């Protein structure tokens, strides 16, 4: 486990973008596992900037996203596919056929999860998986007490998540109740894992996840066992790590 302390959100984003950029330069046809959320927005902006300057080329890259709401199509502004298009894909030269996000419109859980796991295998696995971390230690939609040995699966959203998301929808009934997510087994099989975290509200969970015991109660803690795991946090997020 490598732990890198960044000064600010911008510094964290830049350091993480450098690692992704190095991956793409070293292996232009690499498979990147990507994440949504507020944390990676600055990293995607940095990569877009380097792309526009001609420093990085995504034409041979394949991307595989962590998760998607079951029931939402990619043109729904609340879908993770839409988020990725807006914040990253439409600004770079990735080929549309090389973009992969679980298909929220496929309501057949077994078929969709199997399709996604086979896709990851067919691509030869994920070279570099990017992750954020939830305040409760979740990675992707793997909430506390998720089994470590699962591949892609469908989860029921926590009531607290449904309530928190309701503000983005016309009414609470429209909020998806389920999501597809890569499992922890899938994440652990990535060759490299890169986690980014910023802000004071992540300080306690980083300490618990990476200085505490490995336990399903804190899903991210399993990353302590990954052979090539890097955590980059800004000063606030690292403030309880005593490094
Ligand atoms: P955030 O979400 O980047 O919006 O903090 C992280 C996560 O829940 O994985």
Distance between Cα 140 and ligand 1 center (Å): 9
Whole-angstrom distance, CA of residue 206 vs CA of residue 202: 6
What percent of the residues of the chain are helix, what percent strand, and what percent coil, each to the nearest 5?
Answer: 40, 15, 45
How does residue 146 score in pLDDT terms, banded at 50, 70 and 90?
Answer: confident
Which residue among 16, 41, 130, 134 has the greatest number of ligand 1 atoms within 8 angstroms of its CB, and so is best to mutate?
A: 134
Residue 176's pLDDT is what? Answer: 93
Pairing mode of beta strands 31-34, 62-65: parallel
Q: Where are the beta strands (DSSP E) in 138-226?
A: 153-156, 178-181, 192-197
Q: Which atom of ligand 1 is nearest to the CA of 131?
A: 9
Whole-angstrom distance, CA of residue 64 vs CA of residue 182: 10
Which residue among 13, 132, 141 has the greatest number of ligand 1 atoms within 8 angstroms of its CB, and so is best to mutate?
A: 132
Q: What is the pLDDT of residues 100-109, one digit of tens each?
A: 999 999 999 9
Residue 158's pLDDT is what? Answer: 84
Q: Which residue has 């302390």 as its token pair? A: 5
């Amino acid at each position: 486990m490598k732990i890198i302390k960044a000064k600010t959100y911008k510094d964290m984003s830049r350091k993480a973008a450098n690692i992704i950029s190095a991956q793409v330069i070293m292996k232009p046809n690499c498979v990147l596992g990507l994440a949504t959320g507020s944390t990676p927005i600055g990293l995607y902006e940095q990569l877009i900037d380097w792309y526009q300057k001609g420093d990085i080329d995504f034409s041979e890259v394949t991307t595989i996203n962590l998760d998607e709401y079951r029931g939402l199509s990619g043109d729904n502004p609340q879908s993770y596919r839409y988020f990725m298009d807006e914040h990253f894909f439409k600004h770079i030269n990735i080929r549309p056929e090389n973009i992969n996000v679980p298909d929220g419109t496929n309501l057949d859980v077994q078929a969709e999860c199997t399709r996604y796991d086979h896709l990851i295998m067919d691509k030869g696995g994920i070279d570099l998986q990017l992750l954020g971390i939830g305040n409760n230690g979740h990675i992707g939609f793997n909430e506390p007490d998720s089994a470590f040995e699962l591949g892609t699966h469908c989860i029921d959203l926590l009531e607290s998540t449904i309530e928190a998301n309701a503000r983005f929808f016309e009414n609470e009934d429209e909020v998806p109740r389920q999501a597809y997510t890569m499992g922890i087994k899938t994440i652990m099989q990535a060759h490299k894992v890169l986690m980014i975290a910023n802000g004071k509200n992540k300080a306690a969970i980083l300490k618990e996840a990476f200085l505490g015991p490995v336990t399903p109660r804190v899903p991210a803690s399993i990353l302590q066992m990954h052979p090539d795991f890097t955590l980059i946090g800004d000063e606030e997020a690292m403030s309880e790590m005593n490094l």
